[in-house]
Amino acid sequence: MKGKLLFIAGLAIGYVFGTRAGRRRYEQIKSAAQNIWESEPVQWSVKQAQDAVGDVAEEALTVAKRVIHQVTGEKPATKKAPAKKPATKKAPTEPAAKMAAPKTEPKPAAK
């Protein structure tokens, strides 16, 4: 409600100033606004905002897809993975302590 009231007040104020100032003043205001919009700091800020919104939008889309797939129980469509390399021979699955300890003969006790 507050937003609507402010919007209507802004329209009324703009109408009053617009009718009193005339076309020439309108063109001056339009030219000044365009110069500000095209300035380097403003355009840099616009670029930063677009980048931030783009990143957030991509993340939101990913999360939304994940939630939809969880709710519907369907698995998400995945892109084909590149061909995998052939599997290499795996090392034996012994505990690391046994593998790291060198095998040596016990020393005879000194007399």
From first to last of the 111 residues of the chain, give the pLDDT tens digit.
778 888 888 888 888 777 777 888 878 888 998 999 999 999 999 999 888 888 788 888 889 999 988 888 876 566 555 555 555 555 555 554 455 555 555 566 665
Tokens 């309108």: give the residue.
26
What's the CA dihedral at 17, 31, 22, 15 to 10 degrees?
Answer: -30
Tokens 């061909």: give the residue.
83
List helix spans (H) across the chain. Answer: 2-37, 40-72, 96-100
Structural tokens at position 17: 């100033």
Q: Provide the pLDDT for residue 59.
A: 86
Contact 57, 49 (CB under 8 A): no
Q: Provide the pLDDT for residue 24.
A: 84
Provide φ and ψ at 60, rounded to 5°: -65, -40
Q: In Å, what is the CA distance from 82 to each residue of 79, 85, 87?
A: 9, 9, 15
Diameter over CA atoms, the chain: 118
The structure's pTM equals 0.36
